[in-house]
Amino acid sequence: MLNENQSEHQKKVIGMKTLAINKLRPNDYNPNRMTDSEFAEFVAEIKHLGRLPKPIVVRPGNDDEFIIIDGEHALKAAEAVGLAEADCEVIIVDDFEAMRQTYKRNQHGTHNKILLGQMFQRMAKERGLSLRNLAKEVEVSDGTIRNTFEYTKAVKVRNSYAGKGDGEDTEGKIAGLSLRQVKYYNRLPEEIANLWLDSGLDGCLDILTLWRAFYNPKIKNEKEADRLKEYNWPTPEEYLFSKSKELADTGLLQYAKRVWNSDSFVAAIKQVEDWTKWENGYFFHFGDIEWYSREEFRKYARYYYEKIWPFSGDCCRMEYALNILIEPGTESSPARFRLTPEEFDAVVKQMAQYSKEAGNVINVDTFREYFSLAIYEKTGKKVDTKCDVRTQFMKAEIERGAPDYIRESALAFVADKYVLWKTVEELQKENPEDTATIEQIAHELAKQKFVPRDKDCVMGKSDRKFRISIGDDVKLLQEQWAVRNFINKYLFMAKEEAHRKSADNIELAMEITDLFYKREEQKDAHKKMSVILNQLQNSELMALHKGILYCQSVRRMREMF
């Protein structure tokens, strides 16, 4: 107990005593460490002196034992030399003060960062101190405390990782990281952080590996990552952590292959990124129809991305298989897979065996026949192997909920109708005050045979550009962006007061666009354009003049397809 007349931070010295070595016990929090060579040198010094260089600091423990505050290595060295007794300084302090003195009395030694962090956490808990107040008590900076906590946090994360090797020295692995590496490890999603740590099994853990995986595989140094500032990211690190979180949120990292060096880590991340892009592109076609569970879907799709698909590099075959496997269903009967994952696995293995024996790749027709035959044997029903299940889903949804002008549209493809409908709904939610105008523009678009298209697309609202190969002639992701851009252009012009006076201008602009859609000869097109331009110049509606330039770009975009 502390003397009531003393402050909480003061100690009461009992005095110097000679105590038996077997009565001394090390504490359970000492962060100080000594290498084998340092310890051997220490033992030699004790043999030379015939005693310990300085007293061991202890406090009373249970029964007649004493707990060491400073001098754990001295005790081990004394035991190694064979000393029976040692000079000790006995003091009475509480747990907090004992830990504080252990830290302060060992400033000359080497601290294990993890054990030091654990000790600081115990001290904070002992007295209910905040990090800042603990730093004041120990007389160190806030950063010193915070940095040790980074190491203890990293150990907890790693210990919870199921994929770590048996017998792994987790504390040794984390303690060997630099402070910057530990901070990256703690900020990354756990799955990616542990894969990255595994990439250092060859002794070359490097932050540059992260940049190669999430930014550019050919990057040579971190300075090249500064180019990310051009894309309005506050810092390159924010880009890295944002991209890694997006990837972790997909749930696909569980399928990533084991990594052991930098290159295998980069390859694993790129594999998951490719899978994510393909999966998002495939499911975009289903829109708001949530008939599926992505986890259930991945039991089939994993064959392609785990490199066990017998048709190497052929994602189209994966889509063909899914078209056959998925039964769209009706309002009363939900969609489902026609084969279980186990049955699908059996068909894939059968095809792989056939391909191996025949010595060539199975053609598309034979591929489809294998699946249709398996389904027929199970259900007794024949399957149209050339239908596109996504088109069926979109058609069913249009019939259920689309407005009349969409259902009766002159657009040639079901996919075009679906994209126009969903894009208009999205724009109307974003611009509720312009709902009527947006619908008016959409009505005019619905009279065309095709919706606008573009080679690059913007996915969602993030303005991040992708090139995604869907494997179909109709590239819905590209169309969605082009339709949004087209409607927004005309919406901008419609907001001008002169354009609001007459809805005829929309029809006039569409007439200009139609001239290009029909691919008329350049000369004739220019003549008709000149007449329309004169009409515009003689009216109050000069705002639509800008629309002419856009219509020219529409023609160029269409020529790409």
Entry pTM: 0.62
Compute φ and ψ for 169, nearest 5 degrees.
-85, 80
What is the 3 state secondary structure string of 233-270?
Answer: CCCHHHHHHHHHHHHHHCCHHHHCCCCCCHHHHHHHHH
- Res 128: pLDDT: 93
DSSP string, 494-557: HTSHHHHT-THHHHHHHHHHHHHHTT--HHHHHHHHHHHHHHHHTSS-GGGHHHHHHHHHHHHH
**By the 8 A CB rule, do 102 and 27 touch?**
yes
Largest CA distance in the chain: 113
- Res 96: pLDDT: 94
Q: Is 135 helix (H, G, I), strand (E, B) or coil?
A: helix
More confident residue, 165 or 55: 55
**By the 8 A CB rule, do 327 and 288 touch?**
no
Q: In which residue are the tokens 């591929």 written?
A: 367
Instruction: Give dist(CA 114, CA 173) in Å, integer.
Output: 11
Tallying the residues shown for the chain, one arrives at 561
- Is the per-residue pLDDT at 277 higher than 60? yes
Nearest to 514 by CA among 461, 455, 555, 453: 555
Binned at pLDDT 50, 70 and 90, residue 552 comes out as very low
- Is the per-residue pLDDT at 244 higher than 80? yes
Average pLDDT for 366-379: 86
Q: Is 148 helix (H, G, I), strand (E, B) or coil?
A: helix
Instruction: Give dist(CA 555, CA 508) in Å, integer.
Output: 16
**By the 8 A CB rule, do 551 and 509 touch?**
yes
Q: Is 66 helix (H, G, I), strand (E, B) or coil?
A: strand
More confident residue, 521 or 127: 127
Instruction: Give dist(CA 147, CA 154) in Å, integer.
Output: 11
- Cα dihedral sign for 189, 190, 194, 195? negative
- Res 308: pLDDT: 65
DSSP string, 465-502: EE----SSSS-HHHHHHHHHHHHHHHHHHHTSHHHHT-
Alpha helices by DSSP H, 307-434 = 315-325, 341-358, 364-379, 389-401, 404-407, 414-430
Annotate 93-105 with b (16+ C-beta within 10 A) or e (fewer): beebbbbbbbbee
Residue-wise pLDDT for 314-332, tens only, equals: 667 777 888 888 887 666 6
Binned at pLDDT 50, 70 and 90, residue 80 comes out as very high
- Is the per-residue pLDDT at 414 higher than 90? no
Q: What is the percent of the chain where pLDDT is above 90? A: 23
- Is the per-residue pLDDT at 312 higher than 70? no
Mean pLDDT of the chain: 75
Binned at pLDDT 50, 70 and 90, residue 155 comes out as very high
Structure tokens given for 222? 């971190």
Structure tokens given for 513? 């666009």
> For residue 424, what are the CA distances in angstroms to 430, 440, 455?
10, 10, 21
Instruction: Give dist(CA 312, CA 305) in Å, integer.
Output: 10
Binned at pLDDT 50, 70 and 90, residue 97 comes out as very high
Structure tokens given for 527? 């003549």
Binned at pLDDT 50, 70 and 90, residue 526 comes out as low
Average pLDDT for 319-347: 80
Residue-wise pLDDT for 423-446, tens only, equals: 888 888 888 887 887 888 788 778
- Report the DSSP beta bridge partners of residue 206: none
- Res 118: pLDDT: 92
Residue-wise pLDDT for 489-520, tens only, equals: 666 655 554 444 444 554 555 555 555 444 44
| Residue 523 amino acid letter | K
Domains for the chain: give ranges and CATH numbers: 1-111 (3.90.1530.10), 179-276 (no CATH), 285-390 (no CATH), 402-559 (no CATH)
| Residue 466 amino acid letter | F
